[in-house]
Amino acid sequence: MSDPEVQSDERRASESAASAGPSSLTQASAPVGSAEKPTVVLVIGMAGSGKTTLLQRISAHLSSGGKPGYILNLDPAVSEVPYGANIDIRDTVNYKNVMKQYNLGPNGGILTSLNLFATRFDQVIKLCEKKREPQPAFIVADTPGQIEIFTWSASGAIITEAFASSFPTVVAFVIDTPRSAAPQTFMTNMLQACSILYKTKLPLLLVFNKVDVARHEFATEWMHDYEAFSAALQKDTTYAATLSRSLSLVLEEFYENLQSVGVSAATGEGMDEFFDKLSACRKDYELNYLPELQRRQQEMHETEVRRQAAELEKLKLDTQPKQLQGTALQP
Ligand SMILES: Nc1nc2c(ncn2[C@@H]2O[C@H](COP(=O)(O)OP(=O)(O)OP(=O)(O)O)[C@@H](O)[C@H]2O)c(=O)[nH]1
């Protein structure tokens, strides 16, 4: 596969400006925690949970507030995107060609397309960092339903780390509420969310979608009241139900640190609360994730300084006159 360049809507609109080198609008980027940085929202969730519909709703909500978001589509297999994507993976990677070229099925094709795109992710970050008028308050990314991308694949780690080291970043984990009404399906969803949190370590907002079909209060009750969850499983004596009960106890601490909200991407219900919860998650990023990121960066910097000092010392020794070295070593 060739080494494609990431396309953005601005690039498509103004080919000549893009080829003239760095835009005059581009400026040195602000520190990651600063107030002027937009919040990145990674919308992750199982297939059919409503991610794309939610993106459409978020995009419309932000545009109606006069500050359009910067929207990314990272799903290479989606046939239609019902929102105006500023960056669309499909402009860079042809998922069907990837399947053919690497002899893969649909899942492998999606994973490999994302891996190929991830190798160009520095360009995506540069485009996101570009100064715009009005400056977007949110950069929102739609992702494929194959959530294993974010639990074990290389591209998921590259994408989340690239975003999180450049912008305050939050994961919005979308759940199909009507389909989670069965306690064991609910538990499966919680375990998926937990593994995303474990892998990315980013603030996570549980988005119970489709509340126009089924209310989400049962889910918040199950998260905060073990007895209620256990009661829902009362008639079930299978091994899976016993395991679900035990897991519910183990997950108590995980639930405590989570924000959650009920929305309907279809009707727009709950969107104001959704944005309030995103602000709380951004604060969490600044309070907890950012200091840890800065500590890791400082550690890497110190290791690099030590490595360079050791190299310099070695170079000095190598370039000393041979006799001197010899004299010093002679008894
Ligand atoms: N009633 C209702 N239906 C919804 C809502 N959100 C999404 N849907 C429907 O759920 C189905 C799946 O929605 P999508 O937005 O395509 O879901 P997705 O998570 O992007 O799906 P994948 O791209 O397969 O991962 C569609 O038929 C939507 O119309 C909602 O809030 N309420």
Q: Residues 113-137: pLDDT tens digits?
A: 999 999 999 999 999 999 888 899 9
- Substitution site in 49, 53, 189, 210 for ligand 1 pocket (most atoms within 8 Å of beta carbon): 53
Q: Which two tokens stand for residue 280?
A: 């709380």
CA of 274 to the centre of ligand 1 (A): 17
pLDDT of residue 294: 86
pLDDT, residue 323, reads 59
Ligand 1 mean position, distance from CA 221 (Å): 24
Q: Output the DSSP codes for 125-171.
A: HHHHHS--SSPPSEEEEE--S-THHHHT-HHHHHHHHHHHTTS-EEE
Tell me the pairing of strands 39-45 and 259-262. unpaired
45 lines ligand 1 (CB under 6 A): yes
Q: Which residue has the higher pLDDT, 131 or 331?
A: 131
pLDDT of residue 324: 57
pLDDT of residue 14: 52
Q: What's the average model confidence in pLDDT over 305-311? A: 91
| Per-residue pLDDT at 328 | 55
Percent of all residues in the chain with a pLDDT value above 70, rounded to a whole number: 88
In the chain, the domains with their CATH numbers are 38-325 (3.40.50.300)
Mean pLDDT across 154-167: 92
pLDDT at 154 over 90: no
Mean pLDDT of 154-158: 90
pTM, two decimals, is 0.84
Beta bridge partners of 139: 40, 70
Residue 228 has pLDDT above 70, yes or no: yes
Which atom, in ligand 1's list, is nearest to the CA of 78?
23
How far does residue 162's CA lie from ligand 1's centre (Å)?
A: 28
Give the pLDDT mean for 68-95.
Answer: 94
Which pLDDT does position 128 carry in this prediction?
95
Whether ipTM exceeds 0.95: yes
Q: How far apart are CA 107 and CA 115, in angstroms?
A: 12
Atom of ligand 1 nearest to the CA of 213: 1
57 lines ligand 1 (CB under 6 A): no
At 8 the three-state DSSP class reads strand
Res 240: pLDDT: 81
Please say whether the beta carbons of 36 and 30 come within 8 A: yes
pLDDT of residue 8: 74
Ligand 1: distance of its center to the CA of 180 in Å?
Answer: 14
Atom of ligand 1 nearest to the CA of 55: 15
Segment 232-256 shows an average pLDDT of: 80
Higher pLDDT, 323 or 237: 237
pLDDT band per the 50, 70, 90 thresholds, residue 24: very low
Q: Which residue's CA is the nearest one to ligand 1's atom 24? A: 47
- Position 1 scores a pLDDT of 52
Top pLDDT among 203 and 324 is at 203
pLDDT at 262 over 90: yes
Indicate which atom in ligand 1 lies nearest the CA of residue 264.
31
Question: Per mean pLDDT, which range of 96-110, 206-220, 227-241, 261-275 is the poorest?
Answer: 227-241
Contacts of 171 (CB under 8 A, 6+ apart): 41, 42, 44, 150, 160, 196, 197, 200, 202, 203, 204, 205
More confident residue, 240 or 112: 112
pLDDT score recorded for residue 153 = 85
For the Cβ of 82 lying below 6 angstroms from any atom of ligand 1, the answer is no
Chain mean pLDDT for the chain: 87
CA of 326 to the centre of ligand 1 (A): 77
Cβ pair 226, 248 in contact under 8 A: yes
pLDDT band with cut points at 50, 70 and 90 for residue 33: low
Residues of the chain above pLDDT 90, percent: 57
